[in-house]
């Protein structure tokens, strides 16, 4: 970790050495640590020119900005450098000047979480651990199992009783030992924490592991580079725990510090109405009160966001805004993102698009603005949720009776001219 | 279409102009056409050096070898240039020298079919059609709807009654008009053919549309380039209709003709035991008899393969082999491909890995061979099938009783040393 200076507590500001395992020894579990780099040194090696000369098209091209040893072994599956897809028709629909979708659903296990999980797997190997563990039913778990498999590590995943079968299936395919806890997510989480301590497994919990979130940063670095270092006016990011939006902001801040970009985008944080403690904290400045999340967007359904402070600070620094969207708006966004851009986003990912729409309507984001929506996960990961958005097919007999009426109603019969 | 010389009938050998719409006017529906190029002219512009200088990382980097106008509008979603992932642990498990997975599950709609569908959408725009249509429940349909959406076209998809809900959902999200035909696949197909003729929609049916299969070719071109123009000893491709394997072989043949590669790989065609008419045709040289396909690998469950002849000719020319694998072997392959390589393959994609394993055991593929398995689709597209492969989680109470016994049995308790 050539360029890492230490770990700074987000609460008390103390700078710790990298020997501190997860959170601030003084502040306890809420003392989230943030990796500090020697930017003056990085500036000498990381420039637009050195980056342009790197053939590596993955998140590892930004290795100086990641907490890795120079000789770190990396996973074989490709992580990051996902497409930044222009979406002009969708942009017009939202009332924006230009719109791009950063499609992180293209990652190995189908979500942005492969970025932090890859860092986790690399760190686990570095620390000579053979096993990584996490408690989750969602994208964190499947990416943890996927990246562990790719690096020859084993994974142990604690899931609550209500974990949906398809998600458990993905874990088992990646060879994880899946422990289904007859209880709540919190109980699964506590069991995982104790097991990690007892058996010395590497703990892949983004919320408390300071290194993992650095992986999320690479999505922001890529957006900047894919736009030829001309950052957009806005980047929209859906918010659950808060560490993804903090990571994305950190990317742009670092690029400005390094002199690689001249300005930074404003950041739009989007929460689901049924799980919006960070929006409340952003408005009031007070720590959020724990709440029971209720939203279709399960990847951002977080009632006790451990990284709320990092998130609020990021949006403030970015001169950004926080906004809530309803489940109805999220379902709408899944539909029009698919129809107008050819991208199938999971609900939490579509929330960022729904947020841009609302922000454009409310005048927060201007009509000429260039915006990027971060698509954090693939819609195929949660087809059940998509069914609510999708509508239903037309039933017709094999002879085709009634077909013409349907086609006429859908304006599909006159089609020789474009 | 600067470099296209015409369309050659696979049956009678006649060369037709590109004004012929789909199949050979003499031979009818079984007269599949193959696009012919002016390789002497292409050789002057397409070299290792010109390719290395192209920044475009998508299938469009091989535009001279595609049946496109120079000014063709291209879709916004990224198509192709999927990762070629080294899989050393999986290679050892199969008994191979080196193994790579060409992960086409990373495409926009999750399968290799995005490659031909993208060509279809581009051709539809070129012909000033506003609507593309196809009959399918599978990857062809979802990729057709996805690429149409990305190019501002509309799509009409005919699906049989038994089409699984998740696949219909993906179609609806991409904005397709989905017509569920109360009948068989064949009835849906016939209705689609008639509707295309009647209403002038662009017909995206790979089996008869000579341009689409050229998109499949790009997977082979990419494998060659990603291996620095040193083709592997073997490329394993699962076979349903037969046009994917024909396309992959065409890629290597063209690269040899152009002098870009010095030699070509041998091609291993893999069918499911319950749907193996092409393997039979390869063995006997006789046209396959129609059969009722029975396999978990629905993307290659083809009882009447229209491109059997192209496939058989390709494998012969490539000095290759055809092999069948059981559904049990396919499910096994899904499991060990996930566990050892971190890649979640749909059953038809895992069949190529299962085929390599069997071919290595039978001595067809040598123990020191370098092989590439083409992963044609993402396992997330058919989680139902994966459940049969995945096994079950361990159930434990929130207090963790019994956890230690499970961990000991799984050898997960002693893990500080790598």
A381 interfaces chain B, CB cutoff of 8 Å: yes
Protein fold of A84-110+213-389: Rossmann fold (3.40.50)
Provide the pLDDT confidence category of residue A123 given band limits of 50, 70 and 90: very high
Kindly tell me if the per-residue pLDDT of B322 is higher than 80: yes
Contact at CB, B415 and A130, closer than 8 angstroms: yes
Provide the pLDDT confidence category of residue A137 given band limits of 50, 70 and 90: confident
Q: What is the pLDDT of residues B86-99, one digit of tens each?
A: 999 999 999 999 99
Q: What is the pLDDT of residues B290-304, one digit of tens each?
A: 989 999 998 999 998
Q: What is the pLDDT of residues B159-194, one digit of tens each?
A: 988 887 888 999 999 999 999 999 888 889 899 999
Q: How far is residue B215's CA from residue B121's CA, in Å, rounded to a whole number?
A: 11
Which chain A residue is nearest to residue B418, measuring alpha carbons? A128
Q: What residues contact residue B411 under an 8 Å CB cut-off, 6+ apart?
A: none
Mean of pLDDT values over A117-133: 95
Helix, strand, coil % (nearest 5) of chain B? Answer: 45, 15, 40
Kindly tell me if the per-residue pLDDT of A235 is higher than 60: yes
Q: How far is residue B175's CA from residue B177's CA, in Å, rounded to a whole number?
A: 7
Question: What is the distance, to the nearest Å, from the Cα of residue A184 to the centroid of all Cα atoms in its chain?
Answer: 24
CA distances from B22 to A24, B9, B26, B241 (A): 68, 11, 12, 17
Provide the pLDDT confidence category of residue B414 given band limits of 50, 70 and 90: low
**B391 CA to chain A: closest CA distance, Å?**
7
Kindly tell me if the per-residue pLDDT of A416 is higher than 90: no
HEC per residue, A318-330:
CCCEEEEECHHHH
CA-based Rg of chain A, rounded to a whole angstrom? 22
- A155 CB neighbours in chain B (<8 A) are none
Instruction: List phi, psi (to 5°) of B182.
Output: -70, 80
- A397 CB neighbours in chain B (<8 A) are 181-183
User: Which of B184, B225, B393 should we substitute to test contact with A (largest number of A Cβ atoms within 10 Å)?
Assistant: B393
Provide the pLDDT confidence category of residue A361 given band limits of 50, 70 and 90: very high
The percentage of residues in chain A with a pLDDT greater than 70, rounded to a whole number, is 98
The percentage of residues in chain B with a pLDDT greater than 70, rounded to a whole number, is 98
- From the list A1, A57, A31, A396, the residue with the least C-alpha distance to A226 is A57
Provide the pLDDT confidence category of residue B415 given band limits of 50, 70 and 90: low
Mean of pLDDT values over A79-104: 98
For A264, other C-beta atoms within 10 Å of its C-beta total 21
Q: What is the pLDDT of residues B242-275, one digit of tens each?
A: 999 999 999 999 999 999 999 999 999 999 999 9
Question: Which value, to the nearest 10 degrees, does the dihedral of the CA atoms of residues A405, A411, A415, B3 take?
Answer: -110
Which chain B residue is nearest to residue A106, measuring alpha carbons? B106
Provide the pLDDT confidence category of residue B384 given band limits of 50, 70 and 90: confident
A401 interfaces chain B, CB cutoff of 8 Å: no
Q: What is the CATH number of domain B84-109+213-390?
A: 3.40.50.1100
B55 interfaces chain A, CB cutoff of 8 Å: no
Interface of A with B in 252-311 (CB under 8 A): none
End-to-end CA distance of chain B: 56
Kindly tell me if the per-residue pLDDT of A23 is higher than 70: yes
Provide the pLDDT confidence category of residue B360 given band limits of 50, 70 and 90: very high
Packing angle, helices A139-150 and B327-341, rounded to 10: 90
Q: What is the pLDDT of residue B231?
A: 97
Contact at CB, B146 and A342, closer than 8 angstroms: yes
Q: How far is residue B150's CA from residue B157's CA, in Å, rounded to a whole number?
A: 16
For B318, other C-beta atoms within 10 Å of its C-beta total 21
For chain A, where do the domains classified as CATH 3.40.50.1100 start and end?
A: 84-110+213-389, 114-205
Q: How far is residue B45's CA from residue A203's CA, in Å, rounded to a whole number?
A: 53
ipTM of the complex: 0.95
Kindly tell me if the per-residue pLDDT of B21 is higher than 90: no
B186 interfaces chain A, CB cutoff of 8 Å: no
Architecture field, domain A114-205: 3-Layer(aba) Sandwich (3.40)
Q: What is the pLDDT of residue A418?
A: 39
The answer to whether B178 and B172 have CB atoms below 8 angstroms apart is yes
Mean of pLDDT values over A402-411: 93
For chain B, where do the domains classified as CATH 3.40.50.1100 start and end?
A: 84-109+213-390, 114-205
A402 interfaces chain B, CB cutoff of 8 Å: no
Q: What is the pLDDT of residues A158-186, one digit of tens each?
A: 998 888 788 899 999 999 999 999 988 88
- From the list B9, B7, B15, B4, the residue with the least C-alpha distance to B29 is B9
């Amino acid at each position: 970790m050539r360029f890492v200076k230490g770990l700074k507590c987000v609460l008390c500001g103390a700078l710790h050495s990298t020997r501190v395992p997860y959170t601030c020894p003084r502040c306890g579990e809420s003392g989230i640590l943030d990796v500090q780099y020697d930017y003056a040194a990085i500036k000498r090696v990381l420039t637009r020119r050195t980056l342009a000369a790197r053939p590596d098209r993955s998140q590892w091209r930004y290795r100086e900005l990641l907490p890795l040893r120079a000789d770190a072994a990396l996973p074989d599956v490709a992580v990051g450098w996902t497409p930044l897809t222009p979406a002009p028709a969708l942009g017009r629909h939202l009332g924006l000047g230009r719109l791009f979708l950063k499609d992180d659903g293209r990652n190995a296990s189908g979500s942005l979480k492969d970025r932090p999980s890859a860092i986790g797997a690399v760190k686990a190997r570095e620390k000579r651990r053979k096993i990584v563990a996490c408690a989750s039913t969602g994208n964190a778990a499947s990416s943890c199992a996927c990246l562990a498999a790719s690096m020859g590590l084993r994974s142990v995943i604690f899931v609550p009783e209500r974990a949906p079968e398809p998600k458990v299936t993905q874990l088992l395919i990646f060879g994880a030992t899946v422990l289904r806890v007859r209880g709540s997510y919190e109980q699964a989480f506590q069991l995982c924490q104790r097991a990690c301590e007892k058996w010395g497994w590497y703990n892949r919990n983004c919320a408390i592991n300071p290194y993992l979130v650095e992986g999320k940063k690479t999505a922001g670095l890529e957006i900047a580079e894919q736009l030829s270092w001309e950052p957009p006016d806005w980047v929209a990011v859906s918010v659950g725990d808060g560490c993804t939006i903090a990571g994305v902001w950190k990317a742009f801040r670092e690029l400005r510090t390094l002199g690689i970009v001249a300005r930074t985008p404003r950041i739009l944080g989007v929460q689901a109405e049924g799980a919006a403690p960070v929006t409340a904290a952003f408005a009031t400045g007070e720590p959020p009160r724990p709440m029971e999340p209720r939203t279709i967007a399960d990847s951002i359904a977080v009632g006790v966001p451990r990284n709320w402070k990092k998130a609020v600070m990021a949006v403030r620094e970015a001169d950004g805004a926080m906004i809530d969207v309803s489940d109805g708006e999220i379902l709408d966004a899944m539909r029009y993102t698919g129809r107008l851009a050819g991208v199938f986003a999971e609900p939490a990912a579509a929330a960022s698009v729904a947020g841009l729409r609302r922000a454009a309507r409310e005048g927060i984001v201007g009509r000429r603005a260039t915006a990027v929506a971060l698509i954090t996960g693939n819609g195929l990961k949660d087809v059940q949720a998509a069914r609510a958005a999708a509508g239903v097919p037309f039933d017709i007999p094999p002879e085709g009776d009634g077909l013409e009426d349907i086609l006429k109603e859908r304006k599909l019969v006159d089609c020789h001219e474009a």
